[in-house]
């Protein structure tokens, strides 16, 4: 069992650090494909009204986040339950990704995030990733930390790599 986790971690590290591909969203200069049905069904989740989710000193705002699985990002959590991220990955295929979030407890938030994995050559995306994150906002509202999982899927919805477990931390801009 331990060897299976080590093998998956090595495979993921190689896939995530490969020169030929990187995680990204849409680049308007590259021909568009169609989203896999699996990705579409996972993103459409119900959210409550903003007033139900967000109290004083909540998560809404702009953050500088760091991921143990690699990358530093600027994230905006919006009051309507959506979020976007600009990560410091190569920009050829795009580095802006989107998702949704909801408050799940006192100062605790869950984020569901999705993006395409493009080939540096400009070929259409053949894979996508889903990152699920749970974070706890510090009492002063200036930082958060938590855990995340990162999974790479084939277009048919089968798992290619992961899920990989990591951590996330951020400070408010």
* 78-115 tens-digit pLDDT: 999 999 999 887 766 557 789 999 999 999 999 999 98
- The residue range of the domain holding 37 is 2-172
pLDDT value of position 123 = 74
CB atoms within 10 A of CB 88: 12
User: Any idea which residue has 């790599």 for tokens?
Assistant: 161
**For residue 70, what are the CA distances in angstroms to 12, 56, 100, 164?**
11, 31, 21, 12
pLDDT value of position 46 = 39
**What CATH number should be reported for the domain holding residue 14?**
2.40.128.30
Per the structure, how many domains does the chain have?
1
**141 or 97: which carries more pLDDT confidence?**
141
pTM score of the predicted model: 0.68
Give dist(CA 173, CA 29) in Å, integer: 31
């Amino acid at each position: 069992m331990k060897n299976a986790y080590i093998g998956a971690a090595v495979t993921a590290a190689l896939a995530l650090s490969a020169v030929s591909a990187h995680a990204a969203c849409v680049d308007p200069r590259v021909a568009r494909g169609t989203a896999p049905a699996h990705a579409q069904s996972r993103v459409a989740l119900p959210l409550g009204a903003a007033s139900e989710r967000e109290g004083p000193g909540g998560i809404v705002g702009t953050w500088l986040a760091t991921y143990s699985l690699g990358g530093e990002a600027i994230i905006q959590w919006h009051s309507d339950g959506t979020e976007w991220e600009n990560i410091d990955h190569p920009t050829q295929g795009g580095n802006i990704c989107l998702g949704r979030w909801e408050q799940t407890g006192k100062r605790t938030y869950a984020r569901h995030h999705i993006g395409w994995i493009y080939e540096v050559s400009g070929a259409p995306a053949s894979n996508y990733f889903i990152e699920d994150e749970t974070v706890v906002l510090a009492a002063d509202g200036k930082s958060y930390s938590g855990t995340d999982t990162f999974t790479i899927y084939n277009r048919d919805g089968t798992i290619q790599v992961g899920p990989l477990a990591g951590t996330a931390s951020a400070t408010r801009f």
